[in-house]
Amino acid sequence: MISKLFKIVVLLAVFVIAAGASAYLAVTLIIKAEETVVVPALKDKEVVYALRILSDLGLNTRIKASHFSTTIPTNHIIAQEPAPGAEIKKGRSVKLVISRGPLSVSTPQLIGLPVSQALILLEEQGLCPGTRAQTRHPTLRADTVITQAPQPGIEINRDNCVDLLISLGPHPDAFVMADLTTLPVDDAILKIETDHLALGEIATATTQAVPMDTVARQTPPAGYRVVTGQTVSLGVNRVRVSADSSHGRRKRPTAWLFYYRTGTGFLNRHIKVRVNSKIISYDLFDDFMPPTGELLFLIPRFENITVMLYEDGELMKTIFPGSHLTESHW
């Protein structure tokens, strides 16, 4: 009886041990199967595609190196580590060698393209922009490639540079300078802007030869050859601000208030207030204002200073010390 009972206990123990071992092996195999993946074949694949595949498998990616290749296109996989078919755990890294394409490339066609587009094409080919020179061209717009060196289609190694000759645009139109003398300042400035010339210094030129607040002299003079964009300076007959009082004592610096109010309506107006002096020229205000908006500035009352106000690109006021608009001063 005891022997039979002992046999039953031994059989039960063996069964329990066998069941436990089987369960352990099954769990181990399941866990192992979940933690390992098979490395796919990535050679000749595009790098973005390879990154997506590895990411979906729970693997990380490391770029081991990049080499020139005559057989593997640019940004495609040359080699990988581990090799295809290897089993590795999730979270491990796969090292990739990326192709930089062939060592030599044909220089792209850049002539006639905007500089910005030419630079993009050079970067795509692994080439760098070299020396950039500029000159006028009768037909090509500014910032357009006139010619290149090496010429298009020449085989050169990557990382080499391509020199560019860039257009400054056609030569500016030349014409005869108009006579601005005796014109009111506003009319003279409007004429300068209409002729696509640049306004330069506006100085005081006290004289009895022309009426007050009109142009007494100009540079360049009337009749001279000028080109588009050339600067024109004016001398205006106006009251010269004296530094001394009638008693020989220096006056305190004065200033005048600049005030402007936009008209009625529904749309905002672009207002620009330009200060022009012998020392410096700058925009005192350049922004949009609502209808019936008000501007108020305190302007130093120096001798050669002129304030011009533009509304939506149109000259509305030209003010300087001594004019009827600057009689109120502090």
The 10s digit of each residue's pLDDT in 57-73 is 999 999 888 888 888 98
Closest CA to 143 of 169, 110, 125, 124: 169
**42-102 CATH pick, 3.40.50.300, 3.30.10.20, 3.40.50.720, 3.30.1490.20:** 3.30.10.20
Per-residue model confidence (pLDDT) at position 303: 60
Distance of CA 224 to the CA centre of its chain: 39
pLDDT in tens, 175-208: 999 999 999 888 898 899 888 898 888 888 888 8
Q: What is the pLDDT along the chain (330 residues), one digit of tens a residue?
A: 556 666 666 566 666 676 666 666 655 555 555 588 999 999 999 999 999 999 999 999 998 888 888 889 889 999 999 999 999 998 899 999 999 888 888 999 999 999 999 999 999 888 999 999 999 898 999 999 999 999 999 999 888 999 999 999 988 888 999 999 999 888 898 899 888 898 888 888 888 888 988 999 999 999 999 988 899 999 888 776 554 444 444 454 566 677 788 888 788 889 998 887 766 778 888 999 898 888 887 776 666 678 888 888 888 877 775 554 444 433
- State in words which class domain 104-167 has: alpha beta
Per-residue model confidence (pLDDT) at position 252: 47
Per-residue model confidence (pLDDT) at position 166: 96
Residue 60's Cβ-side half-sphere holds a number of Cα atoms within 13 Å equal to 6
For the chain, the straight-line distance linking the first and the last C-alpha, in angstroms and rounded, comes to 129
Per-residue model confidence (pLDDT) at position 294: 85
Over its C-alpha atoms, the chain yields an Rg (Å, rounded) of: 41
Per-residue model confidence (pLDDT) at position 330: 36
Per-residue model confidence (pLDDT) at position 259: 78
Per-residue model confidence (pLDDT) at position 69: 87
Find out if CATH 3.40.1190.20 is the number for domain 174-236: no
Per-residue model confidence (pLDDT) at position 217: 93
In 46-128, which ranges are continuous DSSP H helix? 47-56, 115-124
Provide CB contacts within 8 A for 320, sequence distance 6+: 185, 202, 236, 238, 305, 306, 307, 326
Per-residue model confidence (pLDDT) at position 208: 86
Provide CB contacts within 8 A for 253, sequence distance 6+: 300, 301
**Burial class of residue 10, CB neighbours in 10 A (0-12, 13-18, 19+):** exposed
Q: In residues, how long is the chain? A: 330
Closest CA to 74 of 41, 106, 118, 44: 44
What does the buried/exposed string (b/e) look like for 272-297 if buried means 16 or more CB atoms within 10 Å of the residue's CB?
Answer: bbbbbbeeebeeeeeeebeeeeebee
- Is pTM beyond 0.95? Reply is no
